[in-house]
């Protein structure tokens, strides 16, 4: 009996442990960490964010690197069995494009510890400095840069060297640069994008004319003319837009933040390339909360930057939501119809119960099998057919004949179909036959009975099924890997374009993002915390949906019990 209780306790422990780990790691990723200055005994100094610490046993190569200091350190570590503590620091190479890297710093290598007696090891916290004006600068590309704030530059000239005032100038100018950047992005994405789209459409129209009425025909000449006309018109407009963009860029580049790295070198960071900058060691709690909130908002509403390791996940959130929505639009009517047929219309017999078993079992078929089916049937079957019929002018570039949002949604719809069927059937069988008979007795037809009496009663069950299907669909990744999820999609899978509305595009997905970042990222040390945050978001969504399902069910059940 104690074994059984232990098993249960272990199970619960693991659930909460897992949620706790994800919750803790996920929520602290975006918290601004202080920037520390570590000075090593060999005279190097590093400025960066503290990641984590662990203990290790220095190997022979580690000692040989230390040179003549090795013996002293060996003696000092002998007391603790050769084990030393070390800390992982995330630092950046100097320069505006200097990339991030991770650095383990052993405790014995710290300058403060080297000066102490052989027996004592100073606390890390004592041997670290937290310079007041150490800055964390998040860049558009290349991750973060760290450095001491040394001045403010306008038009290439240093106008301020006092950090306090330089910071004030930065804060005053950042807002303007941000709005310029937003404007530029709008120009590039919307206006230039729409011109290019139009050009592409005209080019395709010409190609279509060629295919339909042969080369050199009247229609082709017309299409060619239209294309040439528009090209002429658009060139001027494009030039104008480009000039606008250049102007904003020049303005954004004219302000620069001057940072001093630990070796005394100066780094000039143009405001145009800065997303966010702050002196973490000076920030009050309120200031930190402010940065945290700002980063969280960016996470939820912006595009990713620096590969997919930083910035926001809005495209992935959007992709997940749109895909799930499309999926439920497809799956619910079909699932309900099938359940209605099985429960209300089909004659109960061997065949129907066999079908029921089959549907039940389909819920247990591995999701990757659905992915394979989706790829073969939807993408390469249906998609290719559609391409040949309607988009012949774009071939050999596939329009629908590849992985895309619509096919992913349909694949997941097939995957979740059994969930909806089973839940709906259960709900239908829960409707007492007395109510049905009552309805018939009043002279209602079968359809009227189902519509007015049975369906409303079964609604909670149907809704539960739908929400469960949505929860399963949102968390499923394996089939998506095959039918169109990508790590970084250039465009959102939605557009106001007739007739495809962008649903044929590849899309980003939270779950797939976890896989890509957590599994394939070259810089795992940097990616993992971000994955935790993504995981937290995904678990949040899925758990929320599940809890919602349970709530809806119990509320509707109560209402019916009351009536």
Partner 1 sequence: MITVGGIGTILIVSLIFFFLAWVIAPLFRGAGFGAGESLATLEGGPPVELGLDVHGAQLWGLTPSGVFEVHELPTGVEVSSHRPVDAALGDPTSLTVGPARRDLCLGFGDGTVVWGELEFRDGFLAEEEAAALDSASVELEVGERMPLGEGILERTPLGALRTTEFVVEMATPVQPHGEVGVVHCDVSTAPDGKVFALLTEDGRLSIGRVRERENMLTGEITVTASAIDLPYEERPGAGWPEHLLLAGLGKRVFLVWDDGEVQHYQIDGEGQPSLVETVGLLPSGRNLTAFAPVLGKNTFVVGDSAGGLTAWFVAGSSELGPSRRLVRGHELPEVPDGWATSIASSPQSRTVAVGTSKGAVLLRQVTTEEALGSAPGFADVDAGEERAIASLVFDEQEEQIVVVDHAGTIGRLSGGLHHPESSLSALFRPIWYEGYERPQHVWQSTGGSSEFEPKLGLTAIVFGTIKATVYSMMFGAPLALLAAIFTSEYLRGQTRSSIKSTLELMASLPSVVLGFLAATLVAPFVQDRLASVLVWFGVLPVLLLTGAYLWQMMPRQLALRLSGLPRLLAVTLLVLLSFVVARWTGPIMERVLFSGDMEAWLGGRVGSAEGGWALLMLPIAALVTTLFFGRVVAPRLRRSGQDRGHSAQARVEFLKFVLGVFLCLAISAGLAVLLGSGLGLDPRGSLVGPFSQRNALVVGFVMGFAIVPIIYTLSEDALSSVPGHLREASLGTGATPWQTATRVVLPIAASGIFSALMIGLGRAVGETMIVLMATGGTAILDWNVFNGFRTLSANIATELPEAVAGGTHYRVLFFAAFLLFTMTFILNTFAELVRQRFRKRAYQL
Residue 168: CB minimum distance to partner 1, A: 42
209 binds partner 1 (CB under 8 A): no
Distance CA 490, CA 512 (A): 16
* Sign of the torsion angle spanned by Cα atoms 325, 330, 331, 333: positive
Residue closer to partner 1 by CB (options 277, 417) is: 417
Selection from 149, 145, 56 nearest residue 109 by Cα: 56
Q: Are 309 and 521 in contact (CB under 8 A)?
A: yes
Selection from 14, 16, 136, 30 nearest residue 532 by Cα: 30
365 binds partner 1 (CB under 8 A): yes
552 binds partner 1 (CB under 8 A): no
406 binds partner 1 (CB under 8 A): no
Q: Are 541 and 474 in contact (CB under 8 A)?
A: yes
Assess whether the previous peptide bond of 336 is cis (omega < 30° from 0): no
Choose which of 63, 230, 377, 560 interacts with partner 1 (CB under 8 A).
Answer: 377
Site for partner 1 in 488-517 (CB under 8 A): 511-512, 514-515
Choose which of 475, 503, 504, 530 interacts with partner 1 (CB under 8 A).
Answer: 475
Residue 545: CB minimum distance to partner 1, A: 8
Q: Are 431 and 458 in contact (CB under 8 A)?
A: yes
The CA-based dihedral angle spanning residues 537, 543, 548, 551, taken in that order and rounded to the nearest 10 degrees: -150
Token pair recorded at residue 481: 């890997």
Site for partner 1 in 221-240 (CB under 8 A): none
Residue closer to partner 1 by CB (options 170, 507) is: 507
243 binds partner 1 (CB under 8 A): no
CA atoms within 13 A on the CB side of 182: 7
302 binds partner 1 (CB under 8 A): no
Residue 349: CB minimum distance to partner 1, A: 14
Residue closer to partner 1 by CB (options 4, 563) is: 4
Residue 48: CB minimum distance to partner 1, A: 22
Token pair recorded at residue 563: 């009536």
Residue 90: CB minimum distance to partner 1, A: 17
Residue closer to partner 1 by CB (options 248, 367) is: 367
481 binds partner 1 (CB under 8 A): yes
Q: Residue 166: CB partners within 8 Å, gap ≥ 6?
A: 149, 150, 151, 152, 160, 257, 258
Residue 544: CB minimum distance to partner 1, A: 11
297 binds partner 1 (CB under 8 A): no
β-partners of residue 145 are: 137
Distance of alpha carbon 559 from its chain centroid, rounded?
A: 39
Residue 156: CB minimum distance to partner 1, A: 45
Q: Are 420 and 465 in contact (CB under 8 A)?
A: yes
Residue 392: CB minimum distance to partner 1, A: 13
Distance CA 309, CA 102 (A): 15
Q: What is the tally of helices (H) and strands (E) in the chain?
A: 20, 12
Q: Are 366 and 446 in contact (CB under 8 A)?
A: no
Residue closer to partner 1 by CB (options 405, 477) is: 477
Choose which of 118, 366, 432, 540 interacts with partner 1 (CB under 8 A).
Answer: 366
Site for partner 1 in 419-448 (CB under 8 A): 421
13 binds partner 1 (CB under 8 A): yes
79 binds partner 1 (CB under 8 A): no
Residue 548: CB minimum distance to partner 1, A: 12
Residue closer to partner 1 by CB (options 4, 64) is: 4
Draw the binding track, 19-58, toward partner 1 (x: CB under 8 A; -: no contact).
--xx------------------------------------
Q: Are 39 and 129 in contact (CB under 8 A)?
A: yes
Site for partner 1 in 529-548 (CB under 8 A): 531, 535, 538-539, 542-543, 546
β-partners of residue 54 are: 86
Residue closer to partner 1 by CB (options 191, 525) is: 525
Residue 58: CB minimum distance to partner 1, A: 17
β-partners of residue 110 are: 40
Question: Tokens 């119809």 correspond to what residue?
Answer: 337
Residue 379: CB minimum distance to partner 1, A: 9
Relative to beta strand 35-39, strand 274-278 is unpaired
Q: What is the 3-state secondary structure (H, E, C) of 361-429?
A: HHCCCCHHHHHHHHHHHHHHHHHHHHHHHHCHHHCCCCCCCCCCHHHHHHHHHHHHHHHHHHHHHHHHH
Span interacting with partner 1, options 158-166, 293-301, 370-378, 436-444, rule CB under 8 A: 370-378
Site for partner 1 in 147-176 (CB under 8 A): none
Span interacting with partner 1, options 191-199, 250-258, 281-289, 359-367, rule CB under 8 A: 359-367
Choose which of 375, 412, 458, 526 interacts with partner 1 (CB under 8 A).
Answer: 375
389 binds partner 1 (CB under 8 A): no
Distance CA 35, CA 137 (A): 11
140 binds partner 1 (CB under 8 A): no
Residue 486: CB minimum distance to partner 1, A: 10
Assess whether the previous peptide bond of 312 is cis (omega < 30° from 0): no
Residue 417: CB minimum distance to partner 1, A: 7
Distance CA 292, CA 30 (A): 6
Site for partner 1 in 326-355 (CB under 8 A): 333-335, 337-342, 344-346, 355
Residue closer to partner 1 by CB (options 350, 496) is: 350
5 binds partner 1 (CB under 8 A): yes
Q: Is 255 helix (H, G, I), strand (E, B) or coil?
A: strand
Distance CA 460, CA 298 (A): 37
């Amino acid at each position: 009996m104690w074994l059984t209780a232990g098993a249960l306790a272990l199970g619960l422990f693991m659930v909460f442990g897992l949620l706790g780990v994800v919750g803790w790691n996920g929520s602290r990723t975006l918290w601004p960490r202080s920037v520390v200055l570590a000075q090593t005994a060999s005279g190097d100094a590093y400025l960066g964010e503290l990641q984590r610490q662990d203990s290790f046993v220095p190997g022979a190569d580690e000692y040989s690197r230390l040179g003549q200091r090795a013996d002293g350190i060996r003696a000092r570590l002998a007391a603790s069995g050769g084990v030393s503590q070390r800390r992982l620091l995330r630092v950046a190479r100097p320069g505006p494009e200097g990339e991030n890297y991770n650095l383990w710093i052993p405790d014995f290598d710290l300058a403060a510890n080297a000066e102490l007696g052989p027996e004592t090891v100073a606390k890390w916290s004592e041997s670290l400095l937290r310079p007041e004006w150490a800055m964390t600068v998040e860049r558009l590309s290349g991750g973060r840069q760290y450095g001491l704030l040394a001045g403010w530059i306008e038009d290439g000239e240093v106008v301020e060297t006092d950090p306090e005032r330089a910071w004030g100038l930065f804060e005053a100018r950042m807002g303007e640069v941000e709005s310029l950047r937003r404007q530029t992005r709008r120009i590039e994405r919307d206006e230039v994008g729409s011109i290019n789209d139009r050009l592409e459409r005209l080019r395709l129209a010409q190609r279509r004319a060629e295919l339909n009425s042969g080369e050199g025909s009247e229609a082709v000449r017309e299409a060619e003319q239209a294309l040439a006309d528009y090209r002429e018109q658009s060139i001027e407009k494009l030039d104008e837009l480009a000039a606008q963009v250049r102007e904003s860029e020049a303005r954004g580049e004219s302000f620069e933040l001057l940072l001093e790295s630990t070796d005394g070198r100066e780094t000039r960071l143009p405001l145009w390339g800065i997303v966010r900058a702050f002196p973490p060691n000076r920030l009050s709690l309120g200031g930190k909360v402010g940065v945290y909130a700002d980063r969280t908002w960016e996470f939820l509403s912006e595009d990713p930057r620096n590969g997919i390791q930083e910035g926001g996940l809005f495209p992935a959130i959007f992709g997940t939501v749109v895909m799930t929505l499309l999926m439920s639009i497809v799956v619910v009517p079909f699932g309900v119809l099938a359940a209605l047929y099985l429960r209300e219309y089909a004659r109960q017999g061997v065949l129907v119960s066999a079908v029921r078993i089959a549907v039940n079992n389909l819920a247990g078929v591995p999701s990757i099998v659905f992915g394979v089916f989706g790829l073969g049937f939807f993408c390469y079957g249906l998609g290719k057919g559609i391409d040949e019929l309607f988009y012949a002018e774009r071939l050999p570039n596939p329009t629908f004949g590849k992985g895309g949002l619509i096919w992913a949604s349909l694949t997941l719809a097939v995957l979740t179909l059994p969930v909806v069927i089973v839940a709906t059937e259960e709900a239908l069988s829960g409707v007492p036959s007395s109510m049905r008979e009552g309805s018939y007795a009043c002279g209602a037809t079968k359809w009227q009975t189902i519509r007015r009496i049975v369906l409303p009663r079964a609604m909670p069950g149907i809704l539960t099924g739908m929400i469960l299907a949505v929860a399963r669909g949102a968390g499923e990744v394996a089939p998506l890997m095959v039918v169109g999820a990508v790590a970084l999609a250039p465009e959102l899978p939605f557009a106001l374009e007739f007739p495809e509305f962008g649903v044929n595009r590849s899309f980003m997905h939270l779950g797939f993002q976890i896989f890509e970042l957590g599994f394939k990222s070259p810089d795992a040390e940097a990616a993992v915390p971000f994955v935790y945050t993504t995981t937290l978001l995904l678990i949040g969504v899925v758990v929320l949906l599940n809890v919602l399902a349970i709530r809806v069910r119990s509320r509707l059940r109560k209402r019916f019990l009351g009536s």
